[in-house]
């Protein structure tokens, strides 16, 4: 499990996980890169987060909402708040401030990557090459380095240099064309799924590159992952439906293009989702509702019939299900082994017994914000479990420690601070 059964963070001295001994230099910010490197940190890697002096990762300032608690102890009221957004993707990292616009800052980054395994960045395409910190530059410092670049559209193609945001990617990558109610405006998925998806692909690619390096006794390599590519890949069976039919899929709300009934319905006091994804489940559903007449209706006899006459079926079921209280309906459908659940909000989710049993609600003690609550890791390894060892770091919290590991004296570190390098 990610954490002990009660969901508390582990001691930093405990076994870190399967990537224990791997060093990641993380020059990314906001979501796609930090989500990737948080996963590597959960798996045991030592993640050194590079941040801009004074301001740090943009998401440090993205609040409310925020966690507030102990304060920083100096009585001036600053340093208390930790952005919920920042906290969500920056655990298991050490923060060092580094001004990469200075020669000294870039030299320090080169020193850091000499002994690192992985470098992750999401600067605009071409920026690090201009600073002498591109893949070929850092490869000269460390031929074993795995260099992962994250961007909106990737490093080649006609859109390579265009800026990108999650909303833009969801629209341009096709997701919004199939998300939302039929006949109504396109809808963005409620979390930044393009960023998170690309972050997951980046994690997979990095792990594959590490495996290849060790298994083949090979050097490092360059990884290029884009939000746009990730969104196109995630179209999966919707893209296949288009290729097979020649017709672009349309928005269907919560309904499924090839299964019915498979959607959300209103009840008296909430919403229920029903997934009658086989003929057996359809029969059970009708019997639970005491609507065996639907089984004899020619419009609904097979799944293909139900898909063809979806509107008629939906009208029948809506009028039936809206008469139920949600808990009574769920009990009834469970008795007949019909997959159905209430649509949960975040409060429901983190009160869910399965979330507690699986360690998916974790608590981290933070030096200024008290206890921070975050989702746990979904990666459960039997021999080398993932861990939460470090709170989301305060800005530059580990600068002195990291530089000392590179051999810098206290006096040299102070000089770097005075020169606005760190």
Question: Quick check: 100 and 109 in contact, CB under 8 A?
Answer: yes
Average confidence score pLDDT of the chain: 93
Q: Which long-range contacts (CB under 8 A, 24 or more apart) does 335-341 make?
A: 335/288, 336/284, 336/285, 336/287, 336/288, 337/281, 337/284, 338/274, 338/276, 338/281, 338/284, 338/285, 338/288, 339/274, 339/275, 339/276, 339/277, 339/281, 340/272, 340/273, 340/274, 340/275, 341/272, 341/273
pLDDT above 70 for 13:
no
Q: With bands split at pLDDT 50, 70 and 90, how would you rate the model's confidence at 143?
A: very high
Q: With bands split at pLDDT 50, 70 and 90, how would you rate the model's confidence at 14?
A: low
Note the pLDDT of residue 6.
28
Query: Out of 74-78, 123-127, 403-407, which region has the weakest mean confidence (pLDDT)?
Result: 74-78
pLDDT tens-digit readout, 301-348: 999 999 999 999 999 999 999 999 999 999 999 999 999 999 999 999
| Chain position carrying tokens 């923060």 | 95
Note the pLDDT of residue 76.
39
Residues acting as catalytic residues: 195
H/E segment holding residue 225: strand 222-226
CA distances from 149 to 108, 114, 256, 288, 338 (A): 20, 18, 35, 53, 45
Note the pLDDT of residue 324.
98
Average pLDDT, integer, range 378-399: 96
H/E segment holding residue 96: strand 93-97
Note the pLDDT of residue 74.
44
Note the pLDDT of residue 1.
24
pLDDT tens-digit readout, 97-128: 999 999 999 999 999 999 999 999 999 999 99
Note the pLDDT of residue 70.
58
Note the pLDDT of residue 80.
72
Note the pLDDT of residue 217.
86
pLDDT tens-digit readout, 201-248: 999 999 999 999 999 989 999 999 999 999 999 999 999 999 999 999
Average pLDDT, integer, range 58-84: 75
Note the pLDDT of residue 71.
54
pLDDT above 50 for 130:
yes
């Amino acid at each position: 499990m990610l954490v002990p059964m009660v969901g508390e963070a582990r001691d930093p001295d405990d076994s870190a996980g399967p990537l224990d001994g791997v060093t990641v230099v993380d020059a990314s910010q906001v979501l796609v890169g930090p989500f990737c490197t948080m996963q590597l940190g959960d798996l045991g890697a030592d993640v050194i987060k590079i941040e801009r002096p004074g301001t740090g990762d943009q998401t440090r300032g993205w609040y409310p909402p925020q966690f507030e608690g102990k304060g920083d102890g100096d009585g001036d009221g600053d340093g208390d708040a930790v952005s919920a957004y920042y906290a969500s993707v920056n655990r298991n990292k050490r923060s060092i401030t580094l001004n990469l616009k200075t020669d000294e800052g870039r030299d320090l980054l080169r020193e850091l990557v000499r002994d690192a395994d992985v470098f992750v960045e999401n600067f605009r395409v071409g920026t690090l090459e201009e600073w002498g910190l591109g893949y070929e530059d850092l490869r000269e410092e460390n031929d074993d380095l795995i260099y992962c670049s994250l961007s909106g559209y990737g490093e080649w193609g006609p859109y390579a240099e265009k800026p990108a945001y999650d909303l833009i990617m969801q629209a341009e990558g096709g997701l919004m064309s199939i998300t939302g109610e039929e006949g109504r405006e396109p809808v963005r998925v409620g979390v930044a799924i393009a960023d998170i998806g690309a972050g997951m692909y980046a994690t997979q690619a990095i792990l594959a590159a590490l495996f290849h390096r060790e298994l083949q006794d090979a050097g490092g390599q360059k990884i290029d992952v884009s939000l746009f590519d990730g969104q196109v890949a995630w179209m999966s069976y919707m893209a296949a439906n288009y290729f097979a039919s020649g017709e672009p899929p349309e928005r269907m709300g919560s309904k499924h293009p090839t299964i019915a009934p498979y959607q959300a319905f209103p009840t008296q006091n909430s919403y229920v989702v029903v997934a009658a994804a086989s003929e057996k489940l359809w029969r059970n559903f009708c019997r639970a509702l005491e609507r065996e007449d639907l089984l004899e209706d020619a419009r609904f006899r097979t799944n293909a019939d139900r898909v063809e006459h979806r509107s008629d079926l939906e009208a029948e079921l809506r009028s039936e299900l809206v008469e139920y209280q949600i808990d009574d309906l769920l009990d009834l459908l469970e008795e007949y082994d019909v997959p159905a659940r209430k649509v949960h909000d975040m409060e429901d989710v983190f009160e869910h017994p399965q979330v507690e049993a699986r360690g998916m609600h974790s608590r981290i003690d933070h030096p200024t914000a008290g206890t921070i609550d975050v989702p746990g890791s979904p990666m459960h390894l039997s021999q080398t479990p993932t861990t939460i060892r470090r709170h989301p770091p305060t800005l530059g919290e580990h600068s002195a420690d990291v530089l000392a590991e590179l051999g810098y004296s206290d006096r040299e570190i102070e000089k770097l601070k005075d020169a606005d390098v760190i």
